[in-house]
Structure 1
Amino acid sequence: MELISGYSALSVKMADQTLMASILALLFGFVVLYRLVFKKNGETKSESESSAVTTTTVISRSKNGADVDADVIIVGAGVAGSALAHTLGKDGRRVHVIERDLKEPDRIVGELLQPGGYLKLIELGLEDCVEEIDAQKVFGYALFKDGKATRLSYPLEKFHSDVSGRSFHNGRFIQRMREKAASLPIVQLEQGTVTSLLEESGTIRGVQYKNKSGEELKAYAPLTVVCDGCFSNLRRSLCTPKVRVTKLFIFLLV
């Protein structure tokens, strides 16, 4: 069995070498999809705890679906949701983000950003989100087996010296991305739990959700993007993909 660990200033933990970069790459697909929708149909902060992002609550909400609250509703303000909200906001789109909990996440997941993921952050204008979160640069891996060790370095010779992997506390990274998205006046983050998608004639028109106070509300937009994570109940309501475990990764914490 191989035990793998990064060799940076701090220990590196990793669940999948390409997961973060893949998530960020998908954001461009969402933007293209959004623009196609509007080309076809025409252009149509509450307070949390001390560690939470300051947000603005959407004021206009339609009960009959005649009006819309935003150009896009995004369910979830994790890596994908926050990055997408910022990207669309920079493009001049009104974005309503609904996140179950706006406090800083505290869990072990996504602690390693690959160099490709950092390059995607640069493309999205989000590279400063790895600053001021005690992120450590990572330049490769160390492999240990049968008493022997070897190093595998990232092939970064053709890139700027700042391009490397990053190891960090995932919660701090997400909070920085949320703050970046919320800094745009047309991006509105709201704490709430989406309970269902609003469907009409086979088309998703918006969402029904409970806000922080427990009030049942509805929000409408021409496009709704579900970014609420791998355990999404909303995704299961739309499709039932067969999940396959393709590989396992074993790591050593030192």
Structure 2
Amino acid sequence: MDGRRVHVIERDLAEPDRIVGELLQPGGYLKLIELGLQDCVEEIDSQRVYGYALFKDGKDTRLSYPLEKFHSDVSGRSFHNGRFIQRMREKAASLPNVQLEQGTVTSLLEENGTIKGVQYKTKTGQELTAYAPLTIVCDGCFSNLRRSLCIPKVDVPSCFVGLVLENCNLPYANHGHVVLADPSPILFYPISSTEVRCLVDVPGQKVPSISNGEMAKYLKTVVAPQIPPQIYDSFVAAVDKGNIRTMPNRSMPAAPHPTPGALLMGDAFNMRHPLTGGGMTVALSDIVVLRDLLKPLRDLNDSVTLCKYLESFYTLRKPVASTINTLAG
């Protein structure tokens, strides 16, 4: 938006199909507004989220987000992650100074300790290089590029098992549902007008096998008896349908090696347990911090000075990031 030339290289421009990044907290929605991107949650059948309902030992209670001071439009939003990503990409591609390209970045180009750009492979397998005064690395939780930019100490406390419940009426409409179950929590939240995402937290790194039926058995015998009775049938039907997916939950503290010419962002840089759905809020908040830091700088070419200047990014992001990370932990 500041008239800078931006070259975005994405590994795959097809619509992603993921079981995370589906709930945007009101704080994240406020950041979208600050970035002028709030229409990215429109036209994707996204659902408003006004708070959480908690369930434990047969009792339940509702916690509303404190939204009284805000415009009526401000609330959480939940949606299909891929639809939201495609809207963001369309928005980026529509800007005249943005070049969006599908390609796999194979390495960072480094010269005397400064990152000068990237080497990447196009869809057709052509090896190309792209040079820039600032390379922002945000290649997600499985990042191949962060090695030289941070201390990648990743903890995997548990796994999420994901299901989609169809035409299921949650006990509290437009709320996230957290069941404080044994041995660990279960989440439910709407991702469209007809679908509810269920995420079951399974502690440890080994989950029951999906292929031999162990997982279905675990979900029916251990998990199902602990969920609210009104959604029991939809849950069992979703298990029987069999589209069960798993994803390791990761957390990684922000431990950067400030490197001239490059900056690490998103899950490649800092992750927290996804239980509280705070990941996108941290990412969008970080983007606002970075945008505001870069705004007064017309020239990004003095990489050493820029690197020193951008060290304040790590301090300025803390109030939001460390709060959400702590809550998630």
* TM-score strictly above 0.5: yes
Deviation at 1:186, TM superposition (A): 0.8
Identity %: 85
1:10 aligned partner: none
Displacement of 1:250 in angstroms is 3.6
Instruction: State the match for 1:142 in structure 2.
Output: 53
- Give the aligned partner of residue 245 of structure 2: none
Q: Which residue of 1 aligns with 2:84?
A: 173
5+ unaligned residues in a row in structure 1: which ranges? 1-89
Residue by residue over 1:134-153, the C-alpha shift from the partner in whole angstroms, topping out at 9 and shown as x without a partner, is: 00001011111111111011
Q: Deviations over 1:196-239 (max 9, x none)?
A: 00000100001001001100111101110001111101002433
TM-score, normalised with respect to structure 2:
0.48
What amino acid does structure 2 have at the position aligned with 1:222?
Answer: P
Q: Secondary structure at the match of 2:28?
A: helix
Match of 1:251 among 187, 210, 218: 187
1:185 alignment counterpart = 96
One-letter identity of the residue aligned with 1:221: A
Larger RCO: 1 or 2 (CA < 8 Å, sep 6+) = 1
Tell me the equivalent position of 1:63.
Answer: none
**Which structure has the bigger radius of gyration?**
2
**What SS class does the counterpart of residue 197 from structure 1 fall into?**
strand
Q: Distance in 1 between matches of 2:185 and 2:127?
A: 42
Relative to the length of structure 1, the TM-score reads 0.62
Q: Displacement, 1:240? A: 2.6
Q: Structure 2: any 5+ residue segments left out of the alignment?
A: 159-183, 189-197, 199-230, 232-329
Q: How much does 1:187 deviate?
A: 0.1
Structure 2 counterpart of 1:128? 39
Distance 2:138 2:25 in 1: 21
Inter-partner Cα distance in structure 2 for 1:110 and 1:209: 26
Write the deviation string for residues 127-184 of structure 1: whole angstroms up to 9, x where unpaired: 0000000000010111111111110111101111110000100100000000001100
| Structure 1 partner of 2:22 | 111
Q: Which amino acid aligns with 1:152?
A: L
Are 2:146 and 2:152, in contact at CA under 8 Å, matched by a contact in 1?
Answer: no
Query: Do the aligned residues in 1 keep the contact of 2:11 with 2:103 (CA within 8 Å)?
Result: yes
Distance in 2 (alpha carbons) for counterparts of 1:249 and 1:224: 38
One-letter amino acid matched to 2:4: R
Alignment match, 2:71: 160
- 1:107 offset after TM fit, Å? 1.2
Report the count of equivalent residues.
165
Choose which of 124, 138, 145 in structure 2 pairs with 1:227. 138
